[in-house]
Amino acid sequence: MNASRRLAQISSTLIRTQRFRPIINNPTAIPPLFKMASNMTAINSKDAAPPAGPYSHAIKTPHAIYCSGSIPVDAQGNMVEGTIQQKTEACIKNLAAVLKEAGSSIEKVVKVNIFLADMDNFAAMNEEYAKWFTHKPARSCVAVKTLPKNVDVELECIAMP
């Protein structure tokens, strides 16, 4: 008798004689956290420019609000001209409008991602940013080659509901 056949016979005997017991006796229910698709709500604010593509301003879940990137445009979608501070302010105002629509606020932001077309604007952007995010949420700031509509700055965030 070859080795693989002998192993199969031994395994079969162990299972039949109840010497083999499964590690998990009772199946475990899937926690509700893993069924998030049914708990997601798309958020779109009339006080922020309409999304420029096939996405929502934000997605709200029971545990967080995930805001899409905001570029310096007004509620009608017109580009905001001026300094990097003015453009940063426009981005933050858009995020604030979206968060308000979702039942949250800037004060509940836990993470911000900032995209700059030119890192020479970092200090000036920080001046405006610091006025709004006094609670100092976690943050990343990266330089990118190009942003949508060739803007200088884009911000996205995650907030608590």
Catalytic residues: 141
Q: Is the dihedral of CA 134, 137, 141, 146 positive or negative?
A: negative
Distances (CA, A) of 149 to 46, 54, 71, 142: 21, 16, 9, 18
DSSP state of 103: T
Q: What gap in Å lies between CA 156 and CA 161, rounded to an integer?
A: 16
Report the candidate in 84, 85, 89, 59 with the shortest Cα–Cα distance to residue 74.
89
